[in-house]
Structure 1
Amino acid sequence: MFRQGKQAVKKSAQQNIVIIYADDLGFGDLGCYGSRKIDTPNLDRLCAEGLKFTNAYSTSAVCTPARFSILTGRYPFRNDQAHILPGDAGCIIKRELDTVPKLFQRAGYHTGIVGKWHLGLGDGSKPIDWNQEINLTPIDLGFEESFIFPATADRVPCVFLEGRSVVNLDPKDPIEVSYEAESPFEDIPTYYKNPELLRVRSSHGHDKSIVNGIGRIGYMRGGSKAVWKDEELAETFLNRAKQFISDSCRAEKPFFLYYALHQPHVPRVPSARFEGATGLGPRGDVIAELDWCVGEVMAALEKEGILDNTMIIFSSDNGPVLDDGYLDRAYELNGTHRAAGPLRGGKYSKFDGGTRIPFIVYSSALKHRGVSEALISQVDLYASFAHMLGIETREDSAVDSQDRYAALIGEDPAGRSELMTEDLSFGKMLRCGSWVYLSPSEGAPYMPFTRIETGLSKDPQLYNMDYDIGQQNNIAWDYADQVEKMEKRLQEILTSESTR
């Protein structure tokens, strides 16, 4: 059992909330979800004392749309900019849009984000000037404190942003960023011009700027003092998360922390203490590192004496991928490990491996511990938190978020009656009870670079998850009435103003 610290500060009557959001972590990557190849003792313990969900979904098989949904309570299709963004994109969450952190602000909470952002920055009226304060950041969307990197670890600029400004930026060494096909900067090291500088090579893409010996997406010049060290990312973000918890306790305010981990997204560069921690190479090692970070957050809450007054929700933005652009031997060293567990597909895919993700709730408010088969979506967190806080959801807020607080605390074993997800190419999947329907869509059935089945087909696909969790038997032709019914419902959702 996690034990409470003896020197507890004054507790709030309201429950603190910590969302720990992994990046590209699969349904089968944790011990508590069946892995026998990666030790995850902290998450296994969180799971043993909490509630593990086996039918939880993100809204998208890729990161930006999923992150848009979890923070706004809206399906990605409602925002035509909700796709994988370059590192210099404008923010796709408008300043006036309601968000989960704004909800907590209205309830008197201290709100903070630490980690990966990847929802764009600035209002889009002009290119981002990384050397000045940026006019639209998480600070404008409900987060009172913000310490992030702008996009992903494989995209430039490779810097931290605190509030509105780049951290440790030397004005004499200004940052310039470009996502043009060819580098506009002749004096920077690039993948093909300077291969001798590489310590991690690319399998596909990631062949523009070289930063810390790693090829990235996009070109970056300047800001040398501001550039992060990849092996220090985990502890840098962890320490800021722990500091946020400590500061919130000193202020004697309840808090909401969105702690967005960067692991196990590429490039996978574990800190020295976790290098070689598993037999699966860098991907396994950074998952072990991720697990340690979770344990450290738990320890920080325990030290403050607030663990029993904090709800922790752990999940991932989408499913797993082994080769996502770097030669880190993820496939060669994977052995019998199944990152997606029994599910078909993975990141990018319309199959369940793309969006069915680990989801664990730890809270003293739980009515039931163990395993829940309730059907839930990450889009539901807004309305569920509103219920918890006793705040009525505005008509134009979180239009796809349903109140599933009873499911989150183990009181409701059923959850949603339906939910929708999408793949990389915006193809839609509808789940209703045990039925999963993949609408017909154009595209190749297989991604050769990532070696992932996409789920794309011109034919309708129907699976019964009670009998076919691996989605091996398409029974659309045997249940034509069910296909027609689900296609009709899918079109109703796509033409609706709201689904709650």
Structure 2
Amino acid sequence: MKRTGIIASLLVGIGLLVGCQSKTQKTDAQSEEKPNVVIIYMDDLGYGDMGAYGATELKTPNFDKLAEGGVRFTDGHATSATCTPSRYGLLTGVYPWRNDQAKILPGTAPLIIDTAQVTIPKIFKEKGYHTGIVGKWHLGLGTGVVDWNEHVKPGPNEVGFDDAYIMAATQDRVPTVYIDNGYVDGLDKNDPIEIDYQNNFEGQPTGKENPELCTYQMWHHGHNNTIINGIPRIGYMKGGEAARWTDVDMADHFLAKAQAYVKAHKNQPFFLVYTMQQPHVPRTPHPRFEGTSGMGPRGDVIVEADWCLGEFVKTLEEEGVLENTLIIFSSDNGPVLNDGYYDDAVEKLGDHKPAGALRGGKYSLFQAGTRVPFITYWKGKIQPKVSDALVCQVDILASLAELVGSDAQTMDSEPLLDVMMGNSDEGRQSLILEATSRTAMRSGNWALIPPYKGAKINTQVNIELGNEMEWQLYDLSSDISQQKNVADENPEILEELIAEFERIRGKEYSNVQNLELK
């Protein structure tokens, strides 16, 4: 801590700055010489999937160490109950429902972030930081027609990242290759890649027609196209044999890239987004983690991810930058068990509850869709605490802008640096949440879900979606599991919240309460 920070702390201690503690502590955080920032982003990790959030059957010592040494938020949210929208909200500070392209994308989708848009990495670049991303992207690449054998752009580099080592979409979608700053890593130009999401290539086996070739995992629903490494995928792919990833090595591969980034840039301020693929499907733990959880591949890859986090934090410490690095840890949406493959996620679950006490999961408007682990950690700067403040990943942009002294703003991101540093418990007052193009709202301890037509349960994944033909209102202070709809008992509150929802969400939703109820 600099001299000014010490003096300010002493003044607070003797009462000369009574009432100004929050402002002083924020200044201390900002006074550190260009702190590094790392966002560690999980994929489908549920609220109850780590020990610090109540898991007893699943051991996550490194996740828990981070939570116990920082601020563990009990009411932290992704913007969406699915991946692409959440990643959009995180990087841009804009609600994903404002962008009709922010939905689960195929591997061939164009980039959905406007290259002129404010993003977190752009903010850091403007302040002299080196910026990098390692891991899952899934925000689109190119402008609609991609030649995977040439430079693929625009992509992460064009929205603010100096270095980008990514997979284009998800582990279960083609192309199954790594992309290094716009170029397919390890590509043999004599074996060009061809990708199509509508039509198969002549002579290429598929999971649907050749189930005998699904030697690693069998598809359950939706994942029955091109088979790679014994795993059927979404979409069709031909060529690029030398560049194809090995699924069981993916966690190690991305970890090594993240560690290498830290080592390469430890002598300059850096901003890194490290996006793990675990526990998204297909769940392919390295052999040394197989069977370690007792819950099948889903549990094993969570154990694997926990180890990866521990190794990454160890690298920060060994390279001498841990005490000058703010780490933000969260997940892109809530949990799902069977999400397309037969992998024993349901059969071997035991007493483990991936969503904890929350209702719903991935794809759902109930709390388990977006309420996820959310942790901020800064050794020596953030004092351990548990915070019940309502926070959202969309607020990370404004909060980090405040940290580095940037005036960058977006319409939806709220500056909550004091909250994320553990100096305040005054979080958001309201929050719009999204799930597969449907939206709901949190306001204080109230959870409001508008009427929606459609199935109540996604039977493929066995998750309640939140669809009812009436307004739903839940008091989370006494009913965190959302078991009792109290809309009829609180007509005035319901009316106020509907008005607030319409004000934020827009008049295009003003007729939602007028859906014909049958």
Report if the CA contact (8 A) 2:432-2:505 is conserved. no
Q: 1:469 aligns with which of 480, 487, 490?
A: 480
Q: 2:280 aligns with which of 265, 273, 278?
A: 265
Give the aligned partner of residue 233 of structure 1: 250
Report if the CA contact (8 A) 1:55-1:376 is conserved. yes
Q: 1:433 aligns with which of 429, 444, 456?
A: 444
Report if the CA contact (8 A) 1:99-1:398 is conserved. no
1:484 equivalent to 2:498? Answer no
CA distance in 1, matches of 2:419, 2:171: 34
Report if the CA contact (8 A) 2:79-2:433 is conserved. yes
Partner SS state of residue 341, structure 2: coil
Q: Which has the higher helix share?
A: 2
Matches within 5 A, 1:310-349: 310-349=325-364
Report the count of equivalent residues: 477
Report if the CA contact (8 A) 2:71-2:382 is conserved. no
Give the aligned partner of residue 232 of structure 2: 215
Report if the CA contact (8 A) 1:116-1:260 is conserved. yes
* Cα pair distance change 1:365/1:388, threshold 3 Å: farther
Report if the CA contact (8 A) 2:357-2:480 is conserved. yes
CA distance in 2, matches of 1:262, 1:138: 17
Q: 1:278, CA displacement in angstroms?
A: 0.8
Give the aligned partner of residue 4 of structure 1: none
Give the aligned partner of residue 108 of structure 2: 88
1:358 equivalent to 2:376? Answer no
Give the aligned partner of residue 6 of structure 1: none
Q: 1:366, CA displacement in angstroms?
A: 4.3
Q: Normalising to structure 1: TM-score of the pair?
A: 0.94
Partner SS state of residue 308, structure 1: helix
1:101 equivalent to 2:116? Answer no
Give the aligned partner of residue 241 of structure 2: 224
Give the aligned partner of residue 321 of structure 2: 306
- The one-letter code matched in structure 1 to 2:205 is P
1:449 equivalent to 2:460? Answer yes
CA distance in 2, matches of 1:463, 1:308: 41
CA distance in 2, matches of 1:366, 1:89: 41
* Cα pair distance change 1:366/1:466, threshold 3 Å: farther
CA distance in 1, matches of 2:428, 2:363: 24
Task: Show structure 1 runs of 4+ deviating over 6 A.
Answer: none
Q: Provide, for residues 221-266 of structure 1, a one-character-per-residue CA deviation record: whole Å limited to 9, x for no partner.
A: 00000100000100100000000000001xx211000000000000
Give the aligned partner of residue 156 of structure 1: 174
Once the two structures are overlaid, the 10-residue window that deviates more, 57-66 or 409-418, is 409-418
Give the aligned partner of residue 279 of structure 1: 294
Give the aligned partner of residue 294 of structure 1: 309
How large is the Cα RMSD of the aligned pairs?
1.4
Report if the CA contact (8 A) 1:50-1:366 is conserved. no
CA distance in 2, matches of 1:378, 1:81: 19
Report if the CA contact (8 A) 1:365-1:409 is conserved. no
Larger Rg over CA atoms: 2
Give the aligned partner of residue 19 of structure 2: none
Q: 1:365, CA displacement in angstroms?
A: 6.3
Q: 1:205, CA displacement in angstroms?
A: 0.9
Q: 2:39 aligns with which of 1, 5, 19?
A: 19
Q: Provide, for residues 277-305 of structure 1, a one-character-per-residue CA deviation record: whole Å limited to 9, x for no partner.
A: 11100000000001001001110001011
- The one-letter code matched in structure 2 to 1:241 is A
Q: Provide, for residues 368-413 of structure 1, a one-character-per-residue CA deviation record: whole Å limited to 9, x for no partner.
A: 42201011010001100111111112xxx42200000010011111
Q: 1:51, CA displacement in angstroms?
A: 1.2
CA distance in 2, matches of 1:169, 1:368: 47
Give the aligned partner of residue 139 of structure 1: 157
Partner SS state of residue 358, structure 2: coil
1:399 equivalent to 2:419? Answer no
Once the two structures are overlaid, the 10-residue window that deviates more, 379-388 or 480-489, is 480-489
- The one-letter code matched in structure 2 to 1:164 is G
Q: 1:49, CA displacement in angstroms?
A: 1.1
Report if the CA contact (8 A) 1:366-1:410 is conserved. no
Give the aligned partner of residue 411 of structure 1: 423
Q: 1:367, CA displacement in angstroms?
A: 5.0
CA distance in 2, matches of 1:23, 1:492: 31
Partner SS state of residue 225, structure 1: helix
Q: 1:215, CA displacement in angstroms?
A: 0.6
Give the aligned partner of residue 71 of structure 1: 91
- The one-letter code matched in structure 1 to 2:469 is K
CA distance in 1, matches of 2:382, 2:305: 28
Partner SS state of residue 313, structure 1: strand
